[in-house]
Amino acid sequence: MDDDMESGSLGPFLERPRTFPNMRSKSNTPLIFRMLRKINVRLLFVLLLLGFTAIFYVGASTSPIIVFVFSVCIISFLLSIYLTKWVLSKDEGPPEMAEISDAIRDGAEGYFRTQYGTISKMALLLALVILGIYLFRSPTPQQESSGIGRLTSAFITVAAFLLGALCSGVAGYVGMWVSVRANVRVSSAARRSAREALQIAVRAGGFSALVVVGMAVIGVAILYATFYVWLGVDSPGSMKVTDLPLLLVGYGFGASFVALFAQLGGGIYTKAADVGADLVGKVEQGIPEDDPRNPAVIADLVGDNVGDCAARGADLFESIAAEIISAMILGASMAERCKIEGEFRSLSNPSGFILFPLVVHSFDLIVSSVGIFSIRGTRDSGVIAAIEDPMTILQRGYSVTIILAVLTFGLSTRWMLYTEQAPSAWFNFALCGLVGIMTAYIFVWITQYYTDYKHEPVRTLALSSSTGHGTNIIAGISLGLESTALPVLVISVSIVSAFWLGQTSGLVDEAGNPTGGLFGTAVATMGMLSTAAYVLTMDMFGPIADNAGGIVEMSQQPESVREITDVLDAVGNTTKATTKGFAIGSAALASFLLFSAYMDEVAAFAHQPFKQVDIAIPEVFVGGLLGSMLIFLFSGWACAAVGRTAQEVVNEVRRQFIERPGIMDYKEKPDYGRCVAIVASASLREMIKPGALAIISPIAVGLVFRILGYYTGHPLLGAKVVAAMLMFATVSGILMALFLNTAGGAWDNAKKYIETGALGGKGSDCHKAAITGDTVGDPFKDTAGPSLHVLIKMLATITLVMAPIFL
């Protein structure tokens, strides 16, 4: 920071033009984007044209469905460019707002560059490990018969892994890029109209959502089409199309790997800064949230972007990628068992069942775009407009998206899943999709009920603050524990219902046994994620609104402006909690599919059936215990990392208040850069241990029990123990994540409710007790909880990729 910012000799803080620390020491834009900027615009246009031509040529050589998917994704990218231009055309407000926004952007981009540099090095190291494993393992009978050797299989898996990791990183960058530019524009709009501010935040989130979902879909589609053409799939003597989806599992693992570390690092960063700022600023010094006198305030606002935007973008990206790949594997497996064969244009073909997930998510882009554009600003934005409930407006857009999703899902099933062998099967699968869509809607409603202060649970939690800090903690924990019941019941009903609908679809194998059950659950998962782009839009809205409120407070705008951003911020807390509930529900269904895919893959490698896991076998039961233990140990390490880093922030903020007493009178400027440096370095250091635990544990357990099985005459013991570990970890992880997410969101909004003036309002003893609850809930809802979403799916994808070494 410059000398003039360090000294207090510039006169009273309030009477001077505000300048904020420039944290940028070098360009923070990722290398790939810096290289693109240096290319001549015409040359870049020609290269893009050639790239699109190549993509469409490969797609046309694969299937007309792939061409449809490519077209929709590219249109959605063009639409996202329009949204970006629309958002960036809005004014940034007075100079002090722009300066604060610049400081936030520089801090976020600097951390992103360092964090993803570390993640990329770990990804390259893991890619070499995967390459070594696949070079020394025996291929499956299907790969042997199609002439795919060890070398080809190894390079295919590694290429898919690296592409998934790259796309996941880009998804995270896109989420962060738009949020650090939209925040100040939302702040400026809040000076005029709440509806205009809401519209800017939603459209900024919409840009990120369309890019993230579009990249997940087009990435899998390009990989599928490239392998299809390169390997000559379905030509005589080559691989069958039903064996192709198994080659894509590396893509899901790469996406999960990056998302896990992005979520861990970003979560530790944002919550350590938030806890440190709240404990010293609000509780000890009695200053408002996001007050410019708080040395940790810039770090807190930076954390909203790297933790909630970048990490959630990577999280949703890997959710969609994992769900698409698992559904493609199950669709291919069912098509093969049912002997569904023929060309695409015939009424019975396997391509429809394999490519169905890509079509569903292409329609997701279309219907979510309509939902995003259904939210409009008021015509008269020249004066402060009355504050309409933003949640009502967002729910109206979600309802539009849901209705369109139901219609397009039915159309997709009739188009893709009609087969002469079972003419009514497509209708059963359409009902499976409806089950998934209803599950998503119910999950959103349940999460809102437990985390929105309009409802009784949060108000009861706020009331418990009136009797002290301890009763607030007890009430919050009990609320979180109670909140796991309804979601689990909903997931259970949806899995059984979808399985039953699929099983009675009329599709049977050669022996006459029903085979559509698992694919029915896959279709339900697709239904749940068929509005993912709009849900991600609502999620991105949260941190953008939070940042906007911080900028308004730091630039000391009128109280009426802060009221608008406070309302948007409270709604943002609910939408973030909603997305976490949505993510854990989809993770539960997707993990169920990936578990089934893992068992199919083990059977292919082992050349024998593998359909059941008997937990009465002691070693298998121990594997289950280890899986449950992994969830608790991982969560404990993640929360402890936030606690240790927050202690450093608290000590630094206290030091500055003691050594610079003029800060409280606005006569000295806090050293914001010091807190940013502390949380950045600490979060990068602290994310390694829990992340390594998640990656190494299943591999180590599988290898140990494989060796034990070799000496005891049980060749499948390693695979069975890993299956039990995966099963128990999924169940424990779902419950733990539901508890952590809901308890943390409820504590946060109980504090917000008191800040509206209830129960004594800001500065009261009740408010201080609520702040304590909020700080306890911070690592719950923004570090450990969201990381568990990724962990559950990463355990499933890592076992899929590493299955050969367990046998």
Res 739: pLDDT: 93
Q: CB under 8 Å to 273, separation ≥6 — which residues?
A: 296, 299, 300, 302, 303, 649, 675, 679
CA distances (Å), origin 490, targets 274, 433, 487, 693: 33, 15, 5, 31
Res 26: pLDDT: 47
Distance, CA of 93 to CA of 231 (rounded, Å):
56
Structure tokens at 320: 């969609």
The parts of the chain modelled with pLDDT lower than 70 are: 1-42, 44-45, 137-147, 234, 236-237, 341-349, 377-388
Closest CA to 115 of 254, 261, 270: 261
Res 32: pLDDT: 55
CB 793 within 8 A of CB 322: yes
Residue 69's region, left for phi above 0, alpha for psi from -120 to 50, else beta, is alpha
CB 305 within 8 A of CB 543: yes
Burial class (CB in 10 A: 0-12, 13-18, 19+), 733: buried
For residues 283-299, b (16+ Cβ closer than 10 Å) or e, as one string?
Answer: eebebebbbbbbbbbbb
Question: Which run of H or of E encompasses 319?
Answer: helix 311-337
Distance, CA of 514 to CA of 530 (rounded, Å):
26
Closest CA to 262 of 311, 228, 215: 311
Count of CB atoms within 10 A of residue 476's CB? 27
3-class DSSP string for 573-610: HHHHHHHHHHHHHHHHHHHHHHHHHHHHHHHHHHCCCC
Closest CA to 340 of 506, 524, 517: 506
CB 180 within 8 A of CB 106: no
Res 141: pLDDT: 64
Q: Global pTM?
A: 0.85
Counting DSSP H helices and E strands in the chain, the numbers are 26, 0
Q: Which amino acid is at 101?
A: S
Res 622: pLDDT: 93
Distance, CA of 535 to CA of 217 (rounded, Å):
16
